[in-house]
Structure 1
Amino acid sequence: MMNVDEKVEYWLDIASYDLKTAQSMLRAKRFLYVGFMCHLVIEKALKAYYWDKKREEPEYTHNLIRLCEISGLNEILSENQKQFVDTLMPLNIEARYPKDKRLLLKELNNKKCKEIFKEKKEFYKWIVKLLKR
């Protein structure tokens, strides 16, 4: 059984792995998966943050807004960070099950994915910095 610190490290480790996958997808121009992987990176970092602050298992959800709320992180997010979370939210489902792949690919073009990737990386690093003891 893992202790709390091990749980935090577990979530950060798989978030880091997904970060590299997102970068690979960006290089390969697999834009649907860039959005999806960016969502996963932040979701896992938020679960690490939750473990660190609440010392218990977070509820089962992929909802980034909900994870920010229940972890207490929402109270210290900037408006830009909140907007970024709002941007990432639908990419979990939309990227995996696109209703209209062509329409989504118009939105998730190279420029947009580079922006999302950059913001995700900054947000991820910010969360990790908050976890430094």
Structure 2
Amino acid sequence: MAYTVWNLVKYGAIAGLSVVLAGCTGTGAVRPLSFAPVSGSKVAGTDSILSALNGGILPADAASGLSGADRLRALEAEYQALEKAPLGQVVAWSSQSGRTAGEVSAGTPYQVGQQNCRQYVHTATIRGVPVKGQGAACRNDDGSWTPLG
């Protein structure tokens, strides 16, 4: 009887572990983070937090093709990726029409002096044209991020 109970426990544990591991081996696609926009009136100092990104890291000529709302979405995605996204996780954004969209991913945090910094990449499709920006930013005491260079 003890042998049968042991087998049941052993096979049950193997089955449970198999289910857990099956959840880890999906398609391999990284799902974007979802986040609430920081542009709401609930967040104090939002303008200064996003303005510290100095327009973001997308090439200026491409970013000039964004509407004001889409530019805000792109900056919010950069901020969220720098502030919250784990390594390899993307923060996606898209326009209301769906014709303009992008993704931001941030690298492993590192320190420069006393500041936490991250490298990051922003890819987007603006008016049907793919664009890419790369850079690094460091976190300020007020929670904002300032791009380097």
Same fold (TM over 0.5): no
Q: Which has the higher strand share?
A: 2
TM-score by length of 2: 0.24
Higher relative contact order (CA 8 A, sep 6+): 1
Which one has a larger percent helix, Structure 1 or Structure 2?
1
Normalized against structure 1, the TM-score is what? Answer: 0.26
